[in-house]
Amino acid sequence: MDDKGALARSLATTELQFAAREVAPNLFAMSMNTEDSLREYIRLFVKNPLVSTFGPLAKILDFVANAAPGVKEILAVGKLCWEVREHNYDIVIVDAEATGHIVAQVDAPAILSGLVQVGVIREQTKWMQEILHDRATTGVVIVATPEEMPVLETMQLLDTLQNTTNVGVSAVVANRVHDDVVQGGDIAVFDALWQAVQSNAMPSDIGDALRAPMQLLNVATERRKNEVGNLEQLVARSRECGVMFMSVMDIDAHDHDVVTRMTQVLKDELQ
């Protein structure tokens, strides 16, 4: 559901379209858009090839999107559920919308089911819910950086998913986690040295030479302390699903192997 092209760049491939394309052996990728989802829905379920071959569906889409809560979202999530139901792929992975939209998407079938009690819509939402609510089949993986606001948003999302939907959370990934800059017995040495630099308790030439690098080291140390505090909150809130840690990687702009490297880190975490 990424409309910025990040997935294509990560996979080192050209711009993705709605039609799935094999970008690596046994790996297919596509870019979701609502108009093509509606076109495919009409072709598959309405059984009206004439309607599905019309030009731009903007007017129809506007009507459908405003008809009832959850209609627009269900076009996207319905496409994904369809691929799962038809066993077209071994596993379907979705780069979903941001935190503020994901709940509306995964809960769209349940919302529509509550509004429409009979007919085709009711039948469609029923099998979608069976897929989304089966925790052995579907799970949300939430990704957050170890900063205060993303961690708070993640904990709120966990609460919302668990309290208002029947969709399970499989895991939480803490991304871009920095390593300890100073650890063990070095902490006391660093603190003493930093205090000496700040208080000018050493020869001026030595203090001046150390001041800039010590300031940078202090900033990195304080950042790490804040991260640890935020991560402790996240881990405490995510005990049911667990937290995996993705450390900061030194990635070159032309590094095409980043996905493989990140995958290996997550594999190691799972083991």
DSSP string, 201-229: -S-HHHHHHHHHHHHHHHHHHHHHHHHHH
| pLDDT value of residue 169 | 94
Report yes or no: 178 and 223 within 8 Å, Cβ to Cβ: yes
pLDDT higher for 113 or 173?
173
Q: What mean pLDDT is predicted for residues 204-218? A: 78
Q: Is the pLDDT of residue 267 over 70?
A: yes
Distance of alpha carbon 162 from alpha carbon 107, whole angstroms: 12
Report yes or no: 139 and 162 within 8 Å, Cβ to Cβ: no
Q: What is the mean pLDDT of the chain?
A: 82
Exposed/middle/buried for residue 12 (C-beta within 10 Å: 0-12, 13-18, 19+): middle
Distance of alpha carbon 239 from alpha carbon 174, whole angstroms: 14
Q: What mean pLDDT is predicted for residues 5-14? A: 82
pLDDT higher for 198 or 243?
243
- Rg of the chain in Å (alpha carbons): 24
Handedness of CA 159, 162, 163, 166 (dihedral sign): positive
Q: Is the pLDDT of residue 114 over 90?
A: no
Q: What mean pLDDT is predicted for residues 82-88? A: 92
Q: Is the pLDDT of residue 52 over 50?
A: no
| pLDDT value of residue 70 | 63
Instruction: Dump pLDDT digits (tens) for 54-77.
Output: 555 455 555 555 555 566 788 788
Label residues 161-178 b or e (16+ Cβ within 10 Å = b).
beeebebbbebbbbebbe
Q: What mean pLDDT is predicted for residues 81-93? A: 93
Q: Is the pLDDT of residue 176 over 70?
A: yes
What is this structure's pTM? 0.79
Q: Is the pLDDT of residue 220 over 90?
A: no
Q: Is the pLDDT of residue 105 over 90?
A: no
**Percentage of the residues of the chain whose pLDDT score is greater than 70:** 85
Q: Which residues contact 60 (CB under 8 A, 6 or more apart)?
A: 38
Q: Could you tell me how far CA 97 lies from the centroid of its own chain?
A: 8
Q: Which of 64-68, 134-138, 157-161, 193-197 has the lowest mean pLDDT?
A: 64-68
Q: Which of 22-31, 45-54, 186-195 has the lowest mean pLDDT?
A: 45-54
DSSP structural state of residue 180: P
Q: Is the pLDDT of residue 111 over 90?
A: no
Instruction: Dump pLDDT digits (tens) for 135-157.
Output: 999 999 999 999 999 999 999 99
Q: Is the pLDDT of residue 90 over 60?
A: yes
Q: Is the pLDDT of residue 22 over 90?
A: yes
